[in-house]
């Protein structure tokens, strides 16, 4: 019997946080599945001949209530989880996987979809409708609709197992992150650390009812410690703890989960007629095939590796000259890189942080969005929130049309997974004459305010905020008809273009002068510091590129070949890293077991897309630079042909419509300083 008090059972626009309990999610999800099944039944039982509207469009709009509830639930499982939420996730994920299979393996439904697809040449469809039809047909064909019954049954088993394994993988990493703390009681062990970092650590200790200072594996605590702490032994302890998440041969160990995931993905791909998981995934990407991805990675590696090796030798020499370090280790990387950067450019994060008060940076990114796209952000206080730290805004365009709700959640806490991401509680679509506007969220883990200082961001945190906001703009400016083609619903190696291009504004004086103001004096960041930021932009770019490429290569090593012979996760990883290795291996550490992007998120066979999109963003930003970074005509083209179009057309077609030509990879290499 349904709980009549459960507000999630009713239709809602804003997620009514605060008006329901965590346990209400499960009932609402089960109810949403029932409603969605009935909507699917209405399509399959329709006596009229299948056509675009009664089959393809109806299918795209089916299950909207379920989508709203699950979006809220899984977003909270990432941003503010607890044991109740995690238990419900373990219960409902297999049910949602089963429901998804029930759709793609529904013969009556596929028969109708195929009938429309087979008659597509005779239909008068616009471009967006053509893309949706092809996407729906492929969604069935690529996910088992043509399989015999025994293989369909096995596909269901695999998908159920994979949904559970991904959840467990992520829960283990969050538990590992929360479990570790470096408790310092001797003041001498704080040598080198900035005052703000020390104050944050004291605040953490106080919250845990302990004396002294506590450092954790959350980024705002971990990164400054690794960058500034003079105590090499403590840096070693922190680095090993960070790299050993999920690698302790205990109940939180992810080695078995990794092997199960890759083997199940491979079996699934084989069932569907593909050589590997990567072949399956990349068929629907700009890259098209593992061979193209590997060529792309190898080409960049050939250009980046000589620069990376030169930079590493320079760092080795610097560490030896400065402190007599005979063997540079991974826990020395951030520390000596920061010291070398200070020496070469007279620049460090502590010098810059006073100019990057979080509130000012938020206003800055809003101002950039206004100058580029005419958007206006108004903070509102009547939108329900899931945590007091969350800020909410209404977004309007230059004509005062309502565009979006924007949630901003910027600080770490025990219930939030690490990293930074953009998500949506409601996507954009058009229905019944209404252009339904999206509810977009940015979630990050930035330095918290302390009793004496506001939240002051590192420059890296500033670029992260701009990056996620770029994803946000992709959602906010969406203007398509069908939900599954809207906003960031694009090829995975295209989705990073809107986010990565916006990072470029962080390096431009014209943009920095809008928001980089000293939190105490209000003084605009001096031009001399802006010049140093620009000069330091390519510092150790070869090493950074090599690092990113190593992650892409590791991803392809797991998914681009038959993994059934792999028995040792660590040994496999070492082999994959062989060609990109600079530092000695740390026996206690393993990256794969905490590589959430590919084992929990959606980046399996897709990690290369960060570098792929960098080619696009470097070329696209070069167009802005040629015409002025706030040039209205170029911004209008980017909005009209990229941000608003979602997945309504092939990404390269959209890109060429914006740029007038295909992207030139030289733009990335020049920006990175890897070619002259």
Predicted local confidence at residue 674, as pLDDT: 80
SS3 assignment, position 183: strand
Q: Minimal CA–CA distance to 485: which of 133, 143, 11, 145?
A: 133
Predicted local confidence at residue 172, as pLDDT: 97
Predicted local confidence at residue 671, as pLDDT: 86
Predicted local confidence at residue 349, as pLDDT: 86
Across 359-377, average pLDDT: 98
Predicted local confidence at residue 665, as pLDDT: 84
pLDDT at 329 over 80: yes
Across 303-332, average pLDDT: 97
Predicted local confidence at residue 316, as pLDDT: 98
Between CA 84 and CA 558 the distance in angstroms is: 33
Instruction: State residue 376 phi and psi, 5-degree precision.
Output: -130, 130
The rounded mean pLDDT for the chain is 96
Q: List, for residues 342-364, the tens digit of each pLDDT value.
A: 999 999 888 999 999 999 999 99
Predicted local confidence at residue 206, as pLDDT: 96
Q: Tell me which DSSP letter residue 526 carries.
A: P
Scanning the structure block, which residue is given the tokens 């990050």?
A: 444
Predicted local confidence at residue 119, as pLDDT: 97
- Measured CA to CA in angstroms, residue 582 lies from 84, 541, 575, 588 at distances of 43, 14, 14, 17
Q: List, for residues 555-597, the tens digit of each pLDDT value.
A: 999 999 999 999 999 999 999 999 999 999 999 999 999 999 9
The alpha carbon torsion through 166, 169, 174, 179 (nearest 10 deg) reads: 160
Predicted local confidence at residue 4, as pLDDT: 74
Contact 79, 15 (CB under 8 A): no
pLDDT at 23 over 80: yes
Predicted local confidence at residue 84, as pLDDT: 97
Q: Which two tokens stand for residue 283?
A: 């068929």
The count of C-alpha atoms lying within 13 angstroms of the C-alpha of 300, restricted to the half-sphere facing its C-beta, is 31
Predicted local confidence at residue 668, as pLDDT: 86
Q: Minimal CA–CA distance to 235: which of 152, 302, 325?
A: 325
User: Where are the extended beta strands (E) located within 375-502?
Assistant: 376-380, 391-396, 402-409, 421-426, 429-431, 434-436, 439-443
Regarding beta strands 434-436 and 439-443, do their DSSP bridges make them parallel or antiparallel, or are they unpaired?
Answer: unpaired
Choose the catalytic residue: 468, 496, 503, 614. Answer: 468
Percentage of the chain exceeding pLDDT 70: 100
Predicted local confidence at residue 205, as pLDDT: 97
Predicted local confidence at residue 676, as pLDDT: 67
Q: List, for residues 496-520, the tens digit of each pLDDT value.
A: 999 999 999 999 999 999 999 999 9
pLDDT at 670 over 90: no
Q: List, for residues 132-169, the tens digit of each pLDDT value.
A: 999 999 999 999 999 999 999 999 999 999 999 999 99
- Catalytic annotation on 614? no
Across 18-32, average pLDDT: 97
Instruction: State residue 426 phi and psi, 5-degree precision.
Output: -155, 130
Across 97-110, average pLDDT: 96
pLDDT at 1 over 70: no
In degrees, to the nearest 5, what angle opens at C-alpha 263 toward C-alphas 110 and 143?
10
Q: Model pTM?
A: 0.93
pLDDT at 482 over 70: yes
Predicted local confidence at residue 348, as pLDDT: 86
């Amino acid at each position: 019997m349904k709980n009549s008090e459960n507000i999630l059972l009713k239709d809602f626009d804003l997620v009514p946080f605060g008006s329901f309990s965590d346990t209400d999610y499960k009932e609402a999800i089960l109810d949403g599945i029932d409603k969605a099944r009935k909507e699917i039944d209405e399509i399959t039982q329709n006596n009229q001949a299948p056509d675009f509207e009664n089959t393809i469009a109806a299918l795209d709009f089916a299950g909207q209530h379920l989508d709203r509830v699950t979006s809220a639930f899984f977003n909270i499982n990432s941003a503010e989880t607890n044991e109740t939420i995690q238990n419900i996730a373990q219960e409902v994920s297999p049910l949602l996987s089963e429901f998804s299979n029930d759709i793609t393996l529904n013969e009556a439904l596929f028969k109708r979809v195929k009938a429309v697809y087979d008659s597509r040449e005779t239909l008068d469809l616009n471009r967006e409708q053509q893309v949706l039809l092809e996407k729906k047909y492929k969604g069935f064909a690529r996910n088992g609709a043509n399989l015999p019954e025994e293989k369909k049954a096995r596909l269901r088993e695999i998908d159920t197992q994979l949904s559970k394994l991904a959840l467990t993988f992520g829960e283990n990493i969050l538990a590992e992150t929360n479990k570790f703390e470096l408790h310092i009681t001797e003041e001498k062990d704080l040598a080198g650390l900035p005052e703000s970092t020390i104050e944050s650590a004291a605040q953490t200790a106080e919250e845990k009812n302990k004396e002294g200072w506590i450092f954790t594996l959350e980024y705002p605590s971990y990164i400054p410690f690794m960058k500034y702490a003079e105590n090499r032994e403590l840096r070693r302890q922190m680095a090993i703890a960070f790299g050993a998440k999920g690698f302790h041969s205990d109940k939180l160990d992810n080695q078995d989960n990794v092997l199960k995931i890759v083997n199940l993905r491979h079996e699934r791909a084989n069932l569907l007629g593909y050589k590997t998981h990567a072949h399956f995934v990349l068929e629907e990407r700009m890259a098209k095939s593992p061979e193209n991805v590997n060529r792309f990675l190898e080409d960049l590696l050939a250009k980046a590796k000589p620069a990376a090796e030169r930079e590493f030798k320079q760092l080795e020499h610097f560490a030896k000259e400065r402190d007599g370090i005979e063997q540079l280790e991974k826990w020395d990387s951030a520390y000596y890189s920061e010291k070398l950067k200070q020496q070469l450019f007279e620049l460090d994060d502590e010098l810059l942080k006073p100019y990057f008060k979080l509130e000012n940076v938020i206003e800055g990114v809003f101002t950039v969005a206004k100058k580029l796209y005419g958007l206006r952000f108004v903070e509102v206080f009547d939108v329900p929130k899931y945590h007091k730290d969350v800020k909410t805004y209404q977004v309007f365009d230059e004509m005062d049309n309502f565009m979006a709700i924007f949630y901003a959640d910027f600080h770490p806490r025990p219930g939030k997974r690490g990293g930074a991401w953009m998500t949506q509680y409601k996507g954009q679509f058009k229905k019944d004459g209404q252009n339904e506007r999206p509810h977009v969220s940015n979630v990050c883990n930035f330095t918290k305010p302390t009793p004496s200082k506001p939240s002051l961001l590192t420059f890296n945190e500033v670029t992260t905020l701009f990056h996620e906001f770029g994803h946000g703009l992709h959602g906010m400016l969406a203007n398509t008809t069908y939900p599954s083609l809207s906003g960031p619903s694009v090829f995975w190696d295209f989705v990073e273009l809107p986010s990565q291009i916006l990072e470029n504004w962080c390096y431009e004086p014209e943009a920095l002068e809008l928001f980089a103001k000293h939190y105490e004096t209000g003084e605009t960041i001096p031009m001399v510091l802006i010049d140093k930021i620009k000069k330091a932009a390519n510092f150790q770019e070869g090493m950074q590129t090599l690092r990113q490429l190593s992650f892409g290569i590791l991803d392809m090593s797991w998914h681009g070949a038959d993994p059934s012979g792999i028995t040792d996760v660590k040994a496999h990883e070492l082999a994959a890293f062989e060609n990109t290795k600079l530092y000695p291996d740390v026996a206690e550490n393993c990256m794969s077991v905490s590589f959430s992007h590919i084992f929990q998120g959606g980046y399996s066979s897709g990690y290369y897309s960060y570098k792929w999109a960098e080619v696009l963003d470097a070329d696209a930003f070069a167009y802005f630079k040629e015409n002025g970074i706030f040039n209205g005509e170029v911004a209008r083209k980017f909005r009209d042909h990229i941000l608003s179009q979602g997945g309504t057309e092939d990404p390269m077609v959209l890109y060429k419509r914006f740029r007038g030509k295909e992207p030139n990879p030289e733009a990335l290499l020049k920006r990175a300083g890897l070619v002259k």
